[in-house]
Amino acid sequence: MRVLVTGGAGFIGSHVVKALAERGHEPVVFDLRAAGDDVRDRDAVGRALSGVDAVCHQAAMVGLGNGVLDAAEYVSRNDLGTAVLLASMAETGVRRLVLAGSMVVYGEGRYECRDHGVVRPGPRAVRDLDAGRFDPLCPRCGRVLCPGLVGEDAPADPRNVYAATKLAQEHLAAAWARSTAGAAVSLRYHNVYGPRMPRDTPYAGVASFFRSALARGEAPRVFEDGRQRRDFVHVRDVAAANVAALEADAPPGVLTVYNTGSGVPHTVGAMARELAAAYGGPEPVVTGEYRLGDVRHITADSSRLRAELGWKAEVGFEEGMREFARSALRDENPEGFTPR
């Protein structure tokens, strides 16, 4: 299969390209960093789609950035870019798409109250965060909630600009699938880490921030109390999930969504300690700081991906962190755009 990989020179995209080649496919890299190929350029995208069987759409502006100040750029890079790509696919007859989705579309994770069952807490109050009360409370009784795993059928609740653009990408992909009878899959990535991750930028993930700090001889700074839960999934496992989705017989005319995580939650503090120990650097410092756009706990149930596509995460947490501690990070590109 000849597969166009947008963002194919970026962090995740470069691993997808390698995984496709190892499976005997022909990946075609389309990337702003490598050749100035902008997914918003309809002529360039149309040329790139010539002779292509499928598209793996990884190009995106990622992370929280600078809040709403970056809104126009996020929408342009992520949503306009996706719209241009999908329109060109409709014109050229390419009918298979795998989209790099994100768990951020869920907002907060799944929570249960011991008295009221499954509940959906609202945004955390600034007064609580300032007082160091980080865990969401039951909207009915005010008790601290117990976090659980989020399934793909959970309602979307994007809580920052980046999350809103990722949900819009899925809506666009679903509309494309309906109108063209195309097969579309969105892999909702959890916290991806591993070799070639972008170094410390406003758009990098928390693992990159910690690794960059250690490289400077500084202690990783852990926000809140360090007990916020995430699912850290290795980039090679994410690349393998993309290959599995491309090779699967996805149903035409609909968007199929899969959570893509390791299935083993860890706290951010535990990740920082594991990484610092593997690097041999200073112990992390828990600062109590917070960002309003952050959620407290978000971990996925990835059983659907395992059951339907036969995929499972192969890189264990400790093994992955040891490798990541030794791996080089990549520099931000000159335009300040961090490809996925």
DSSP string, 179-231: HHT-EEEEEEE-EEE-TT-B-S-TT--HHHHHHHHHHTT---EE-TTS--EE-
Integer Rg of the chain from CA: 19
- Kindly name the residue from 74, 111, 162, 279 that is annotated as catalytic: 162
Other Cβ atoms within 10 Å of 215 Cβ, number: 15
Residue 189: active-site member: no
Q: Six-digit token pair at 250?
A: 């996805």
Q: Are strands 96-102 and 26-30 parallel, antiparallel or unpaired?
A: unpaired
* C-alpha to C-alpha distance for 17 and 293, rounded to whole angstroms: 32
Q: What is d(CA 177, CA 253) in angstroms, rounded to the nearest whole number?
A: 5
Distance CA 125, CA 137 (A): 10
Using DSSP, state whether 178 is helix, strand or coil. Answer: helix
* DSSP string covering 6-42: ETTTSHHHHHHHHHHHHTT-EEEEE-HHHH---TT-H
Show which residues are catalytic. Answer: 162
